[in-house]
A and B are shown apart, each in its own frame.
Chain A
Amino acid sequence: MNTANRPRRKVYVAAGYNTVSMGTGRKEFSPKKPRPGLEDYIQQAGRGVLGQIGGAKNVDEGVIGNFMAARFNSQGNLAALIPAIDPGLQYKPCTRTEGACCSGALALMSAVKSVLAETAETVLAVGVEVQNTVKAVYGADILATAGWSRERKAGHAYFFPGKFSDRAGAYFQKHGRERTRKAMARWYRNAIENARLCPTAQEHHNTAKDLEALAMAEPNPKSFVEHLNFYDCSKVSDGACAAAVLSEEGLRRAGIPKSEAVEIVAWGQVEADLTRAPEDPTRLETTRQAVEQALKAAGVATDRLRTVEAHDCFTIAGLMAVEAIGLAKPGEGPDFVLAGETSRGGRVPVNTTGGLIGWGHPTGATGVHQAVTLWEQLTGKAGDCQLEPDAKRPYGLSINMGGDDKTVVAILYRKGG
């Protein structure tokens, strides 16, 4: 058993808050009208948490996950936007984390480690990204910095869709295209159907009828990539998510009963060499390592997972994550999804508020959003998205991935108390 990935002291997550994931698809979104900025999102999410934990006086430390505000918003020094949430946070220690799309989970891990180090009882963890400041064609440049810069020149105009298109192509070749393509379409349908239940989701207003048929659209490599269509991709999103990471003492101070919090049971935090291509493009090896570490450290098998928050930046990444978790053998992820096992009524519902494709993917916020969703699900606060609790399957697992399976954090939760 790997004790390094298990807390020596109880650590909880509670008081989650998500802003709307704003972008195309939301009725109120208009690219031509002025929109809230980075600090507005941070403040809304931060204040949403402070309101649930008795205010800023109960916060010992702040941490903010963000990928590339330096380019999306010409803003650096993001830790200094935490005191802008509330005057009570002025002069408290704050940190910013960056690990591309895994920045949010790195913020959570930073918070967890502060609580474990006993330098804080309560940490306010925020994740944020505001990406609609630039057109998608320029946003692709910014997001490409999650890859190795030396690969940019030879890379696709839409760099990451290009990377995962290549992975999809390799997967099609190894395991067959038709079945995989259908499973990708089903993944999209599940994402949208779940997002429709969640008022903050970017696809909440989606009313398209035959989602699977829509998602079977042939990719157009002339204007996009070879093996993915637009439905296979998460959208461009603005949003922030926040939660409190607390010790038992932190919970007591905040007046939150353990039953209203989730406990972090274990985690896997894994980094792979940015300069090396994946050995097998049909598998997410780093993700597999992270999940394995978390599950091993907790001594928990996959049959005890009630729900999973997977990093489906692309539908194909969702299918590969199912295999990396061990829910299906390599090459059998599509069958698992097509059998309905990841759907709301299936064995392990995945991404119950829509995931990156349905809820949205404000890159730096995603890891925190996953924690908030699992907190809601495991404590019965998920509203229309709520799953029936199952005593035999008390765990929730989140996987947040930065870049092409490079920076990965998997966190295992269960209801506190």
Chain B
Amino acid sequence: MKFMKLFRRLKGIGWGVHPADHKRPAADAPVRAMPVSARLYLPLQQHLGGPARPVVLVGQKVRKGELLAEAQGAVSAPVHAPTSGVVVAVTEVAAPHPSGLTLPAIILEADGLDEWTELRGCDAPFALSAAEIGRRVAAAGVVGLGGAAFPSAVKLVGAARARVAALVINGGECEPYLSCDDRLMRDSAPAIVDGIRLMLRATGAGRALVGIEDNKPEAIAAMRAAVAGIGAVRIHAVPARYPMGSEKQLIQVLTGIEVPADGRPADIGVIVHNVGTALAVRAAVREGKPLISRLLTVNGRCANRPGNIEVRIGTLAEEVIAFAGGLKGDGLGLARRVIGGPMMGVQIPHWRVPVVKGTSGILALDATEVDGIAGRETAPCIRCGSCVKACPMGLLPLEMSARIRNGAFAEAIPFGLKDCIACGCCAYVCPSHIPLVQYFAHAKGELAGQERDRLRAEATKKMARQRQERVEREAREKAEAAARRKAGRAAAAGKQGEPACFNPRPD
């Protein structure tokens, strides 16, 4: 057993890819804070789960940090005002999504004062109960800032219930180009560690393992300095390999335990949070500040001045780019607009989309960069197996895509379609440049649609049955009422001897 472990360590990590990271010089430039824009566009669904429900009226004045929309349902997160101003509309705005479709959103016009609402902080947060920390995190609308935007409070409370043993903090930031987590760890390591300790308190976990890729030596040094003397939090340098920042991979590297295929990390007593989330949790609990701004990376060869920028949620990507220094040659060489990282981010059709809680980067890529990542001429599959070796989940991408191409989506499931994390390693290494991830996204969407149809059919059946019952019940009641009337009439006729005519509309 020991020998096998040693052997695995010597062999190194087989999965994943190692693209050129392009993180510097953006990572080394100091953070710039962007002033508040005139208008902020705040989608009601910036997280996984149910959309938030607006609690403000058009024309209402709000102050910075005030609740605009409340969480709705078990998995949801509220939305707060990123600045003080007036609600001008509750309408639809373009979503940061490849489809170019819209999302319901609140549009806020800033008044320029930027004054805070009353904040309910806490000077001694470690005296709070775990449930109270969870409530405060939920009220602040904190979601996972690594990109998936899962409501953090739901995860913390669930972890406390599942009695997880370890908290894994994701400082991997394996996506090329992005450096916002790196910057956070360099600049605010003590605050992050404070946030991690709050998370430990909220989940009841005994230890926290922070995984940071070894291509960020400054971040590792800063975090190591910040945890000096705190035994529960450990900093681990992990090999820089994409997708190290994916939760299942990071857990396996840090703890040696593999998350089962159809399970969640909590099943093996672990939960994963991002370093940025830890910082947001600290702000929410200590200062009572809701999540109204975030750090994001503006990068790509088309960007004039790549760097990390502190941006209010709801700012248009267009304005962020203009603040960052604009595009080279007025954007003539622009080949692709990406929100998020180049591997898993979404390609958007235009820059007029708002920054949301999960936006980790805005990339303006030129043709040479796009050629290096995707968008090349597709050739037939030569069954070389590169994708199988690269897949961090141990799936068979070539078999899945061949079936999906024929429209046999369900046949791809035995090869692991449901475990696919859409990291893009397979498409990255494919010598035939097959857009494998797009195939998988397509199949997942179609399968979800089929499942939706199935549920809908079941609901229809139930509704039809209920209607049938209602119709029968009404007929029965009518018949009974008629019988009663008849009996009453007969009784009346027998008593007074005159015809009953009080019911002009017998039906």
A interacts with B? no
Show the binding face of B for A, using Cβ within 8 Å: none
